[in-house]
Amino acid sequence: MSGGEFDLIAWIRQHSTPAGIVRVGIGDDCAVLAPEGPGELLVTTDMLLDGRHFRLAEHDPADIARKALLVNLSDLAAMAGIPQAAVVAVALPIDAPGGPQRLGRALHAALAQAASEYSVVLAGGDTNAWRGPLVLSVTLIGQATPPGPVLRAGARPGDVLFVTGSLGGSLLGRHLRPSPRVAEGVALRRELGVQLHAMIDISDGLAVDLGHILAESGGLGATLEAEAIPTHRDAVALGAEDGRSPLEHALHDGEDFELCLAVEAAAADRLADGLFADRSLALHRIGTVEAEPGLRLRHGDGRVEVIEPLGFDHFRPTPGVSP
Amino acid sequence: MSGGEFDLIAWIRQHSTPAGIVRVGIGDDCAVLAPEGPGELLVTTDMLLDGRHFRLAEHDPADIARKALLVNLSDLAAMAGIPQAAVVAVALPIDAPGGPQRLGRALHAALAQAASEYSVVLAGGDTNAWRGPLVLSVTLIGQATPPGPVLRAGARPGDVLFVTGSLGGSLLGRHLRPSPRVAEGVALRRELGVQLHAMIDISDGLAVDLGHILAESGGLGATLEAEAIPTHRDAVALGAEDGRSPLEHALHDGEDFELCLAVEAAAADRLADGLFADRSLALHRIGTVEAEPGLRLRHGDGRVEVIEPLGFDHFRPTPGVSP
């Protein structure tokens, strides 16, 4: 088996220790988890593909591996979940520079580092080599923050909408190095309890992802205040290149990996910027949920514009890096 | 989004219902599971790749999708786990005949059917299209059978070794339609309790997989009785083609997806064929665990031969279908 799969697995295993809720980790037929308490478990999975979500020829394997975990952490953050364990399936290109083993080790080292930063234990996986492009598929398991997971469904007319951070232009490079708002999701749930009605992470663009909240909450609508939507400096830079406004980028670009949430109006004023341990991260009040379906944008001059969702469609047959 | 990713997800969602331990299924950021009782959870993941584990151009998509779930069920069976929920990540080739949507629906229908047969709830997933080959990655979650999961580690000198079913020649087609021994794993644990010391499913070949049990159990060895090893009729047929003996196929071929187990000697006689609900499935006593490392084969004439593990190496740079 020299140079083979078992060498890589043995190496990964030497660099992994069961911890947290993981009782048996890498190296058996299944991982064995012993969750604390009787609470609900959250499970999410995301697959990253060379040529679709990244380019192995251009991007650092460490960034690629980190992103594979971080996008899952962002999904977990959207439910206010507390990360616990992950399993990773990988298909390594047999013709990778330096060989698949070397690439496998580089990916694992970066995954392990990212896992450690977010208190995730790498509990198991499946390692393959093939003649195709690099594929990384991560499944993340977490536990819910009391009083339970925050769903997309649950927004009500009158709720106030917030987003964390600022939006747009992630294509300039930020999309490869997300900062999933895990601690922020948990802090919001702890602060607001059941007054936090609905939450989602922004992966397909604010308009599309807020649209999911509104649709899942029974076909509601919302009006956003154009001047309140936080545009990232990358949205400005990208707009200068492509002629679209920073606001358009903030509304429609994908892979911001910020949180969008609907909060009971009576609780909205409680949400001060000081809620997050990272004081540089702001919480922006961007609009209001309404009974009337549709997504509307109110400009500073009072003009109201209907927004059509234009977010990233993973089936669009355009090659290249999303969004 | 017409014809896009959200159409397929909406279709999958219409054909899925949360049940069992799944409280929130397909369509939110995470699946929400509410496990019964405080027991341990088992998690396993396997990725199937076109050209490596199957050929989309030759094989029925329904067989491919079923196999993606069934190989995970086999890993769970090896721990005597009770299946509960699965998440599925898929990369659909954009140039699939009939389009990626149609392929996605065919795969989902077959997955849903297989999941239903084994009481698994499809709880979530990630759906992508790309210019690469078909990739299916399934993560399966189960609960342990009391008194707990059966690990690879735990065999002791003097233990009796058994396998379910018969072995070898799965390449003739059986490898695509596995029968994971889920009910059998649970029945063995219930019957034997802590006297079931170690178990593994045979995916890389009996010699390699038994080798894992012996290595994990502290570097033990075993002697197998050549005449007791159950050779499948496919091992005979394949041997007639390639000149290798049926016994060689039974020892070294992969993807049998039978169970290999080490049982305390005092309990071995309790294991009658009638243990399994499927009375056509036999349990074969094939040898004994020994303190002396290495794997040995005793022939009918008393001659003892040392077996070198020759099983499937997923990194072997040979294209084609495993094993």
Chain A residues with CB-CB distance to B103 below 8 A: none
Q: Do B131 and A76 touch (CB under 8 A)?
A: no
pLDDT in tens, A276-298: 877 778 899 999 999 999 999 99
Please report the pLDDT score of residue A127 as a whole number.
94
Q: Which two tokens stand for residue B224?
A: 């197998």
Q: Identify the closest residue of chain A to B45 by CA–CA distance.
A: A125
Chain A residues with CB-CB distance to B27 below 8 A: 152, 216
Q: How confident is the model at residue B6 (pLDDT cuts 50, 70, 90)?
A: low
Q: Identify the closest residue of chain A to B46 by CA–CA distance.
A: A126
pLDDT in tens, B138-177: 999 999 999 999 999 999 999 999 999 999 999 999 999 9
pLDDT in tens, B62-91: 999 999 999 999 999 999 999 999 999 999
For B226-315, list the strands marked E by DSSP. 259-263, 283-290, 294-298, 304-306
Indicate the DSSP class of residue A52: T
Q: Do A317 and B129 touch (CB under 8 A)?
A: yes
Q: Do B79 and A30 touch (CB under 8 A)?
A: yes
Share of chain B above pLDDT 70, in %: 93
Q: Do B47 and A316 touch (CB under 8 A)?
A: no
Q: Of the candidates B33, B90, B132, which has its C-beta nearest A43's C-beta? A: B33
Torsion of CA A212, A214, A218, A219, to 10 degrees: -100
Four-residue CA torsion sign, A48, B92, B62, B178: negative
Chain A residues with CB-CB distance to B186 below 8 A: none
Instruction: Give the gap in angstroms from C-alpha A230 to the nearest C-alpha of chain B.
Output: 23
Indicate the DSSP class of residue B189: H
Q: Do B33 and A42 touch (CB under 8 A)?
A: yes
Chain B residues with CB-CB distance to A2 below 8 A: none
**A147-183 residues labelled b (16+ CB within 10 A) or e (exposed):** ebbbbbbbbeeebbbbbbbbbbbbbbebbbebbbbbe
Q: Do B43 and A139 touch (CB under 8 A)?
A: yes
Q: Do A88 and B45 touch (CB under 8 A)?
A: yes
Q: Do B314 and A4 touch (CB under 8 A)?
A: yes
- What ipTM was predicted for this assembly? 0.91
Share of chain A above pLDDT 70, in %: 93
Mutate to test the interface with A, among B6, B23, B30 (most CBs of A within 10 A): B30
The stretch B199-222 carries a mean pLDDT of 96
pTM of the model: 0.92
Count other C-beta atoms under 10 Å from residue A272's C-beta.
9
pLDDT in tens, A43-63: 999 999 999 999 999 999 999
Give B110's contacts (C-beta < 8 A, 6+ positions apart): B61, B62, B63, B64, B65, B66
Four-residue CA torsion sign, B73, B139, A200, B105: negative
Please report the pLDDT score of residue A5 as a whole number.
64
pLDDT in tens, A180-229: 999 999 999 999 999 999 999 999 999 999 999 999 999 999 999 999 99
Pairs across A and B, CB distance < 8 A: 234
CA distance A264 to A215: 18
Q: Do B135 and A24 touch (CB under 8 A)?
A: no
CA distance B73 to B273: 22
Question: CA B76, B79, B82: angle at the middle one, nearest 5?
Answer: 55
The one-letter code for the residue type at A247 is: L
Q: Do A133 and B135 touch (CB under 8 A)?
A: no
pLDDT in tens, A80-96: 999 999 999 999 999 99
Residue B215 phi/psi, 5-degree rounding, is -65, -45
Mutate to test the interface with B, among A314, A316, A322 (most CBs of B within 10 A): A314
Q: Identify the closest residue of chain A to B6 by CA–CA distance.
A: A313
In the predicted structure, residue A323 carries a pLDDT above the cut 90: no
- C-alpha pair distances (Å), B65 with each of B83, B88, B103: 17, 10, 10
Q: Identify the closest residue of chain B to A28 by CA–CA distance.
A: B152
Q: Do B52 and A128 touch (CB under 8 A)?
A: yes
Question: CA A280, A257, A19: angle at the middle one, nearest 5?
Answer: 90
Chain A residues with CB-CB distance to B152 below 8 A: 27-29
Question: CA A230, A233, A237: angle at the middle one, nearest 5?
Answer: 130
Q: Identify the closest residue of chain A to B140 by CA–CA distance.
A: A30
Q: Identify the closest residue of chain B to A77 by CA–CA distance.
A: B29
In the predicted structure, residue A319 carries a pLDDT above the cut 60: no
Please report the pLDDT score of residue B20 as a whole number.
82
Domains and CATH numbers, chain A: 5-144 (3.30.1330.10), 160-306 (3.90.650.10)
Q: Do B30 and A8 touch (CB under 8 A)?
A: no
The stretch B257-279 carries a mean pLDDT of 87
Q: How confident is the model at residue A253 (pLDDT cuts 50, 70, 90)?
A: very high
Please report the pLDDT score of residue A3 as a whole number.
44
Mutate to test the interface with A, among B12, B137, B150 (most CBs of A within 10 A): B137
Q: Do B33 and A41 touch (CB under 8 A)?
A: yes
pLDDT in tens, A294-315: 999 999 999 999 998 654 444 4
pLDDT in tens, A139-169: 999 999 999 999 999 999 999 999 999 999 9
